[in-house]
Amino acid sequence: MTLPSRPGLEAVPAYRQGRSAPAGASKLSSNESPHPPLPSVVEAVQQRLATMHRYPDMSAAALRGRLAERYGVDPAAVTVGAGSVELAAQLIHAAAGPGDEVMFAWRSFEAYPSLVRIAGAIPVAVPLDEHHTHDLDAMLAAITPRTRLIFVCNPNNPTGTVVTAEALEAFVAAVPHDVLVVIDEAYVHFDRTGSFGAGVELFRRHPHVAVLHTFSKAYGLAGLRVGYALAPTEVAENQRKVAVPFGVTDLAQAAAVASLDAEDELATRIDEVVAQRERLHGLLTEAGWPAVPSQANFVWVPAGERTGALDASLHDGGVIARAFPDEGIRISSGSMEDIDRVQSALQIPSALQEARA
């Protein structure tokens, strides 16, 4: 007996979560916050525990209202989802179907091609330039009459590079208005360039821009799964049609609102992550690895065929990172103790390195 199987799923790899770390090791494979939840956020979640037998507000009215007020936009333009990845899926399903094309840089967020294929659309991956950033000219040249969405991950995951505000403005202006440009700013809080928040300003000025933000990274709510999008109201309405009902729990909504109330405290934590990111980059370059300057909460090392050697040294030193075989390795910025462990691990020659010496 052969059970039903949808054609095309054989080309969709299951999403690979960052490896877990054994006791005593540093898990730097998933770009998580190294800080525990803020006490005020924990309290807000605890206050909702007694009513978790009830369904959450599917419209997330309180959270959407706060976000609309924050950005000065119509609440109808704000949508929520279980992290920015679910919002990306909503946008794809809302705007593209079989035979349509969805474009993104590569390498970029590894879920993009799978999300596109699951929707029945065609993924169009445009290689990054020699600086490991988006090749916007090549992306413009790749637009066809079938292009429906273009994702710009900014800062880019896994390379940590940023498209400048000026370059992004010119790109958006050149993209036809019947193509939705989705600026994925999951890591925007760690950006220390003049491009910080460029996506929101472009959303205000252009009719074909959507922006994705998440509470998983800077806000430290990865385990609760909540993010939001700003999108043209007609797009946002279609997102709500394709969204999973009750996809954002009551606990997640409460934690997100409490996090918005605690941004001064969170800013201090973000500064600590940025400081350790800069230290991590310096340690890698001093050790002879081609680390790319980053504006996210991780550092990318395009080590090529030496990726396995670096991964092995880190692993032997108690550091679990995210390796992309024969391409590179992404190391999240953790606590001071985590980066101390990276520093020690970089001094450990792996068996693979010794074999190649």
Range of lowest pLDDT (11-15, 183-187, 353-357): 353-357
| Model pLDDT, residue 287 | 95
Whether 221 and 350 share a structural domain: no
| Model pLDDT, residue 196 | 81
Give domain status of residue 10, yes or no.
no
Whether 151 and 185 share a structural domain: yes
Neighbours of 131 (CB within 10 A): 11
pLDDT in tens, 210-250: 999 999 999 999 999 999 999 999 999 999 999 999 999 99
On whether the CB atoms of residues 156 and 133 are closer than 8 A, the answer is yes
Give domain status of residue 122, yes or no.
yes
- Give residue 352's pLDDT band: very low, low, confident or very high (50, 70, 90): very low
- Give residue 357's pLDDT band: very low, low, confident or very high (50, 70, 90): very low
CATH (domain of 222): 3.40.640.10
Whether 220 and 310 share a structural domain: no
Whether 47 and 193 share a structural domain: yes
| Model pLDDT, residue 18 | 64
- Identify the domain boundary among 200, 227, 260: 260
Range of lowest pLDDT (2-11, 16-25, 45-54, 127-136): 16-25
- Identify the domain boundary among 207, 226, 260: 260
Q: How many domains does the chain have?
A: 2
Alpha helix stretches (DSSP H) within the chain: 39-46, 61-71, 84-95, 111-118, 136-141, 165-174, 198-205, 233-242, 250-260, 263-286, 307-316, 336-345, 351-356
Give domain status of residue 60, yes or no.
yes
Neighbours of 73 (CB within 10 A): 17
pLDDT in tens, 97-125: 999 999 999 999 999 999 999 999 999 99
| Model pLDDT, residue 320 | 97
Give domain status of residue 1, yes or no.
no
Give domain status of residue 219, yes or no.
yes
Whether 225 and 101 share a structural domain: yes
| Model pLDDT, residue 350 | 53
pTM of the model: 0.93
| Model pLDDT, residue 12 | 74
pLDDT in tens, 280-329: 999 999 999 999 999 999 999 999 999 999 999 999 999 999 999 999 99
Give domain status of residue 174, yes or no.
yes
- Identify the domain boundary among 212, 229, 260: 260
Mean pLDDT of the chain, nearest integer = 94
* pLDDT surpasses 90 at 129: yes
| Model pLDDT, residue 278 | 98
Whether 168 and 272 share a structural domain: no
Give domain status of residue 2, yes or no.
no
- Give residue 10's pLDDT band: very low, low, confident or very high (50, 70, 90): confident
Give domain status of residue 11, yes or no.
no
pLDDT in tens, 319-348: 999 999 999 999 999 999 999 999 999 997
Whether 138 and 256 share a structural domain: yes
| Model pLDDT, residue 148 | 98
Tell me the residue range of the domain where 343 lies: 21-36+264-356
In the DSSP assignment, the letter for residue 53 is T
Distance CA 36, CA 316 (A): 26
Residues with Cβ within 8 Å of 119's Cβ and at least 6 positions away in sequence, in order, are 89, 92, 93, 96, 97, 102
Please state, in angstroms and as integers, the Cα–Cα distance from residue 197 to each residue in 3, 108, 113, 341, following that order. Answer: 48, 19, 25, 33
Whether 225 and 87 share a structural domain: yes
CATH (domain of 313): 3.90.1150.10
pLDDT in tens, 36-82: 999 999 999 999 999 999 999 999 999 999 999 999 999 999 999 99
Whether 137 and 216 share a structural domain: yes
Whether 239 and 330 share a structural domain: no
Whether 341 and 228 share a structural domain: no
Whether 255 and 269 share a structural domain: no
